């Protein structure tokens, strides 16, 4: 049984005093709520900058993975047909046999399970064969967040070739 203050017992209002006591014990004080809010704010201040910075890293990692995956598909196409698709035939040659010259004779696709993806920024990957950076095969590149050649940071190009001091 709940203990009641002496003045409640003396006046005979025990039921009312018990109800007030239960209501008071059920909620949080303003100080408790403020302490929780301060703790949440400190945690958010520590976590949010780390999460926000990781978004661009994740997009770049996805672009590298897409380029590697399409590179594998292009190599299988090359094995079956003796050459890579032309620039005009493009990456769609990995999903559907090209009908423009040179028509592949050993096409055994589709070489990609799904449609050719867009880069993480919603732009098309740029395919060129023969490539400027890889004259014996092809260049496959995402132009980064700005969708334009060149750039630094999040706008930097991601391609299937090595830059000075970089690894693909």
- DSSP states along 14-73: HHHHHHHHHHHHHS--HHHHHHHHHHHHHHHHHHHHHHHHHHHHHHHHHHHHHHHHHHHH
DSSP E strands: which ranges in 68-112?
none
Between 162 and 38, the more confident residue is 38
- Is the pLDDT at 167 greater than 50? The verdict is no
pLDDT in tens, 62-108: 999 999 999 999 999 999 999 999 999 999 999 999 999 999 999 99
pLDDT the model gives residue 115: 92
pLDDT the model gives residue 139: 96
Domain-wise residue ranges, the chain: 61-159
Q: How far apart are alpha carbons 84 and 56 in whole angstroms?
A: 31
pLDDT the model gives residue 86: 95
Q: For residue 165, what pLDDT band results from cuts at 50, 70 and 90?
A: very low
Between 54 and 82, the more confident residue is 82
Q: What is the mean pLDDT of residues 128-139?
A: 93
pLDDT in tens, 19-28: 666 656 667 7
Contacts of 162 (CB under 8 A, 6+ apart): 168
Q: Residue 124: beta bridge partners? A: 118
Q: How far apart are alpha carbons 78 and 5 in whole angstroms?
A: 89
Give CATH superfamily name and number for 61-159: Glycoprotein, Type 4 Pilin (3.30.700.10)
């Amino acid at each position: 049984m709940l203990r009641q203050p002496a003045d409640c017992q003396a006046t005979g209002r025990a039921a009312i005093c018990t109800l007030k006591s239960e209501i008071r014990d059920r909620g949080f004080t303003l100080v408790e709520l403020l302490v929780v809010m301060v703790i949440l704010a400190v945690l958010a201040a520590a976590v949010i900058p780390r999460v926000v910075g990781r978004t661009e890293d994740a997009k770049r990692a996805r672009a590298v993975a897409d380029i590697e995956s399409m590179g594998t598909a292009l190599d299988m196409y090359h094995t079956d047909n003796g050459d890579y698709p032309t620039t005009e035939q493009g990456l769609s040659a990995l999903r559907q046999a090209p009908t423009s010259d040179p028509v592949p004779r050993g096409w055994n696709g589709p070489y990609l399970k799904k449609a050719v993806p867009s880069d993480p920024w919603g732009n098309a990957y740029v395919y060129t064969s023969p490539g400027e950076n890889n004259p014996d095969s092809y260049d496959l590149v995402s132009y980064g967040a700005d969708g334009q050649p060149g750039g630094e940071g999040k706008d930097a190009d991601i391609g299937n070739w090595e830059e000075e001091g970089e690894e693909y």
